[in-house]
Amino acid sequence: MRPFTFTRAATAADAVQTVACDPTAVFLGGGTNLVDHLKLGITHPARVVDVTGVISTEIHESGDGCLVIGAGVRNSDLAADRRVLERYPVLAEALLSGASPQLRNMATVGGNPLQRTRCVYFQDVTTPCNKRSPGSGCSALDGYTRHHAILGASERCAATHPSDMAVALSVLEAQVRVLGPSGTRSVPFVELHRLPGDHPEHDTVLEHGELITEISLPAPWTRRSAYRKVRDRASYTFALVSVAAAMSESDGKIDDVRIAFGGVAHKPWRALRAEEVLRGGRPDDHLFRMAAEAELADARPLDGLDGGNAFKIPLAARTMAAVLRDLTAREGEG
């Protein structure tokens, strides 16, 4: 690990100004991702600015029914919050699917969506990686691809986003409050992350020096929501495929539905085509299959040294159908 200057910010504005004025400076929240990158040599900041004392650790309700979550709230505390468990179960389930209890006790709400890919080539500084070193190439395209993207990838990057929480926040249509050198702005969560395109080094639309200060969840239109994660082992690993969904019905038909995939793209993948097919239909396996086929029609699996990742296409379809069947059964029980 290379030496760096450590600064404990006095205010959030002070932290933003410090990082914005230094292109090599980074924010430190829980550190569960940054510390790994420092050790692996992925990043070499000259200054690390600790923001844990200047960002909110509170969860409160706003006057319009939104639940406002401070960026300093720990993942474990958010997952255990009564309001989240009752109103946004998909978020609690996603949080509890991520990492280990020890890491959830450290990881922050503001930092979790900004964690970088766990692509093995990104984390191995001896291999070419356009995300880590723009223009060097993408080792994954001809390498091990089991955990890589089937949607939205480019010739420069096939990495996937690792966050479970981010998939749920996409379905919940959260808003992200950001403080930057020019003031504050709100970013719809579904617009926070980028597809790789020609610049996979940019994970999000945030500018250098912008700091997430809070995440707001709109008043829930349904309490029926769920998250399912498919992985190689039962604990402490990242999704091969995951699905977050929320659904409401009336008169035996789907009134509204929101679905997002994890583990299949460079960002949480909102399944807009599938949602369109599902709305107004009677929930059954045939409809679920049609919706999955529409969403995954543009999937482009990779051939790899490990046999490739084409298995993710039927796996994503089956996982989505399983979640929707579960939500339909809950309606019947009600």
Name the residue among 31, 29, 9 with its Cα closest to residue 19: 9
Of 37, 34, 118, 110, the closest CA to residue 78 belongs to 110
Report the candidate in 8, 115, 106, 98 with the shortest Cα–Cα distance to residue 57.
Answer: 106
* pLDDT class of 97 with cuts at 50, 70, 90: very high
* % of residues, the chain, pLDDT over 90: 97
DSSP state of 234: S
Q: What pLDDT was estimated at residue 333? A: 64
3-state secondary structure of 47: strand
Listing DSSP states for 143-206 in one string gives S--TTS-SSS-BTTB------SHHHHHHHHT-EEEEEETTEEEEEEGGGTB---TT-TT--BSP
Q: Count H helices, E strands: the chain?
A: 10, 12
Q: Tens digit of pLDDT for each residue in 214-239?
A: 999 999 999 999 999 999 998 889 99
Mean pLDDT on 117-134:
98
Q: The whole model's pTM is what?
A: 0.97
Which residue matches tokens 């989505």?
A: 320
Question: For 32-79, how does the pLDDT look when each residue is reduced to its tens digit (9 = 90+)?
Answer: 999 999 999 999 999 999 999 999 999 999 999 999 999 999 999 999
Section 280-305 average pLDDT: 98
The average pLDDT across 275-297 equals: 98
> What is the reported pLDDT for 234?
86
pLDDT at 61: 97
Q: Where do runs of H (alpha helix) occur along the chain?
A: 12-20, 34-40, 75-80, 82-87, 89-97, 101-104, 165-172, 272-278, 285-295, 312-333
pLDDT in the model for residue 152: 98
Residue 332's pLDDT band, with cuts at 50, 70 and 90, is low
Cα–Cα distance between 263 and 283 in angstroms, integer? 25
Q: How far apart are CA 302 and CA 151, in angstroms?
A: 10
The predicted pLDDT at position 331 comes to: 76
Q: Can you tell me the mean pLDDT for 294-307? A: 97
- Token readout for 72 is 């300093």
Nearest to 31 by CA among 20, 45, 21: 45
For the segment 253-278, the average pLDDT, to the nearest whole number, is 98
Question: Domains along the chain?
Answer: 1-54 (3.30.43.10), 225-333 (3.30.390.50)
For residue 8, which phi and psi values (nearest 5 degrees)? -100, 115
pLDDT score, position 236: 82
Give the model confidence (pLDDT) of 141-168 as tens digits.
999 999 999 999 999 999 999 999 999 9
